[in-house]
A and B are shown apart, each in its own frame.
Chain A
């Protein structure tokens, strides 16, 4: 019981971090990014490479991965997505275009990783010491990843609520048209939010790589879970992200322990649908449109 609960909480915390970047990209920049999980896997490969080649701790590796992913995602937005933003006449049109464009991007990133790394599964052993907690055995790297995820989540929350640029980001998320009236450069803010989201998912990728095996093609699952969490929590809402992430992690862990580990995806979908049928806008979402 405690085992399932703790596993679920640790997993849920990770899911929340994975989804946080997407809630910035989709909630603020209005880009429904289907290549999101591929960025996560790319970061995981980077952490793996740094660790195996130079024995560099993944936590130190973050110092390289975060700025790199921020820059790459900024360029994605600036050169690939901005033309679509300019072309779109309505929010719905942008949504459809961004789905299709990032879909193509997903294939390109995935294809590049397949060419370099092949289809095999990768993992490395970092900090894999068992730790006794409340009478249950937990791996130290999972706890460490969870702790880092929480710290980053808190920092992001404070950054968004206490700083000037954070306030601008939230303003664009709430109403991009009115935000312009108070002298907020919506396109620059969107680009920033998109890049920030990319940096966050890269952090998630590095942390996940410490305890999960991954392959060039496993990004889709992360994209799917992140999308489910973002919509379930209410688009653009960090607290909703946390709650939805924990809910998903806990339900997965309990079903894996007591029913069957082969049904985790079915549980994700069941929870997703159940929540949406009761609250179509998500836990903390406002009614849309």
Chain B
């Protein structure tokens, strides 16, 4: 894994260019599959960005994703697309700062409990607002965005996440976060402002998730709170990131690919037993692969190399 930097960049650029060309060669079914793959790869990478180094388990992916989708449902017809995306990202960032400041100063448990119900909380607030103020539940999304556009936008977002993650890992912030993950008390004694470091990373991660939700919104023509804030997204993202290995930047995306394909296959064929299968996969990952595929690869390669 010690490729020289220019080679690494050249390889990555070729890979991204290859992915960008995909929509020209495939039919609608595979394009839709590609969009799902990119969506989960982006979400899982964003999840790993915060939860990997800090080891805080976030169950709030669906909350941010849903807020992004809903922003498009509300503003998509009135404002130009770029501005809508900007606003969605801004809302996600503000929300993450509020949540982070409220819970990240306390111990990790508070964060888990809070994020556990965050999607449900926001869903209830949106329902309440729609029923009492606008008096309609559910909105139509009419924007001029094709499937190809969605695919390329997700790809761009994915490239951005990887770049951000790569830069963060090399910055003072990334170093600070790794110390926090090892031992928060030590980090505090080193003079690291742990709250600011954690909130900053949560904000970056949440903004990406919100943007992913906004980009995906035009895929549904009709949105209602139970679709946008589907808690299943949070759960799936956690398993994907864990399967791949959340402590590496490229780990979560590695887990996202096989599981997206598997879930796509299973949800169509076994809709009733789908939840059981997700549960079993979850347990298998936790027990058999505690460090994910990335950790397993690292162990295998280090064993082969003479010490």
Contact A99 B279 (CB under 8 A): no
Q: Is B273 interfacial (CB 8 A cutoff)?
A: yes
Q: Is A215 interfacial (CB 8 A cutoff)?
A: no
Contact A265 B131 (CB under 8 A): no
Q: Is B20 interfacial (CB 8 A cutoff)?
A: no
The complex places the Cα of A228 from the Cα of B109 at a distance, in Å, of 10
12 pairs across A/B with beta carbons < 8 Å?
A32-B112, A34-B116, A84-B286, A95-B109, A96-B108, A107-B235, A108-B283, A111-B277, A224-B116, A262-B132, A266-B121, A280-B107
Contact A277 B124 (CB under 8 A): no
Cβ-defined partner of A269 (8 Å) among B105, B121, B290 = B121
A110/B55 contact (C-beta < 8 A), A92-B108, A224-B117, A227-B116 known? no
Q: Is A129 interfacial (CB 8 A cutoff)?
A: no
A276/B112 contact (C-beta < 8 A), A111-B275, A115-B273, A115-B276 known? no
The complex places the Cα of A107 from the Cα of B273 at a distance, in Å, of 10
Contact A231 B132 (CB under 8 A): no
The complex places the Cα of A111 from the Cα of B274 at a distance, in Å, of 7
Q: How many chain B residues touch the partner (CB < 8 A)?
A: 44
The complex places the Cα of A96 from the Cα of B55 at a distance, in Å, of 8
Enumerate chain A residues within 8 angstroms of B55, measured Cβ to Cβ.
92, 96
A95/B128 contact (C-beta < 8 A), A107-B278, A269-B121 known? no
In B235-266, the 8 Å CB interface with A consists of 235, 238, 242
Max count, chain A CB within 10 A of own CB: residue among B103, B113, B235, B276: B113
The complex places the Cα of A30 from the Cα of B112 at a distance, in Å, of 15
In B58-106, the 8 Å CB interface with A consists of 102-103, 105-106
The complex places the Cα of A262 from the Cα of B128 at a distance, in Å, of 6
Cβ-defined partner of A280 (8 Å) among B106, B238, B290 = B106
Closest residue of chain A to B116, judged by CB?
A224
Please give the distance in Å from B58's CB to the nearest CB on chain A: 11
The complex places the Cα of A15 from the Cα of B288 at a distance, in Å, of 36
Cβ-defined partner of B121 (8 Å) among A83, A220, A227, A265 = A265
Interface string of A101-117 (1 = CB under 8 A from B): 10111111111101100
Max count, chain B CB within 10 A of own CB: residue among A107, A111, A227, A262: A107
Q: Is B110 interfacial (CB 8 A cutoff)?
A: yes
Enumerate chain B residues within 8 angstroms of A84, measured Cβ to Cβ.
286
Contact A224 B275 (CB under 8 A): no
Enumerate chain B residues within 8 angstroms of A83, measured Cβ to Cβ.
287
Contact B102 A273 (CB under 8 A): yes
Q: How many chain A residues touch the partner (CB < 8 A)?
A: 46
Q: Is B2 interfacial (CB 8 A cutoff)?
A: no
What number of residue pairs across chains A and B have CB atoms under 8 A from each other?
120
Please give the distance in Å from A87's CB to the nearest CB on chain B: 8
Q: Is A165 interfacial (CB 8 A cutoff)?
A: no
Q: Is B125 interfacial (CB 8 A cutoff)?
A: yes
Please give the distance in Å from A277's CB to the nearest CB on chain B: 7
A104/B117 contact (C-beta < 8 A), A111-B274, A114-B275, A276-B110 known? no
The complex places the Cα of A109 from the Cα of B221 at a distance, in Å, of 34
Cβ-defined partner of A104 (8 Å) among B272, B274, B280, B290 = B280
Please give the distance in Å from A52's CB to the nearest CB on chain B: 22
Max count, chain A CB within 10 A of own CB: residue among B108, B275, B282, B285: B275
Contact A97 B275 (CB under 8 A): no
The complex places the Cα of A108 from the Cα of B290 at a distance, in Å, of 19
Enumerate chain A residues within 8 angstroms of B277, measured Cβ to Cβ.
111
Cβ-defined partner of A103 (8 Å) among B103, B127, B280, B282 = B282
Closest residue of chain A to B57, judged by CB?
A99
Closest residue of chain B to A112, judged by CB?
B276
A111/B279 contact (C-beta < 8 A), A97-B286, A269-B121, A289-B107 known? yes
Contact A107 B121 (CB under 8 A): no
The complex places the Cα of A75 from the Cα of B255 at a distance, in Å, of 31
Q: Is A163 interfacial (CB 8 A cutoff)?
A: no
Enumerate chain B residues within 8 angstroms of A260, measured Cβ to Cβ.
128, 132
Please give the distance in Å from A245's CB to the nearest CB on chain B: 15
Enumerate chain A residues within 8 angstroms of B274, measured Cβ to Cβ.
111
Q: Is A151 interfacial (CB 8 A cutoff)?
A: no
Contact A265 B287 (CB under 8 A): no
Please give the distance in Å from B57's CB to the nearest CB on chain A: 5
Closest residue of chain A to B105, judged by CB?
A280
Contact A104 B128 (CB under 8 A): no
Closest residue of chain A to B129, judged by CB?
A262
Contact B117 A231 (CB under 8 A): no
Enumerate chain A residues within 8 angstroms of B125, measured Cβ to Cβ.
263, 266
Closest residue of chain A to B99, judged by CB?
A273
Enumerate chain B residues within 8 angstroms of A288, measured Cβ to Cβ.
107
Contact A115 B112 (CB under 8 A): no
The complex places the Cα of A221 from the Cα of B272 at a distance, in Å, of 21
Enumerate chain B residues within 8 angstroms of A114, measured Cβ to Cβ.
272, 275
Enumerate chain B residues within 8 angstroms of A108, measured Cβ to Cβ.
275-276, 279-280, 283
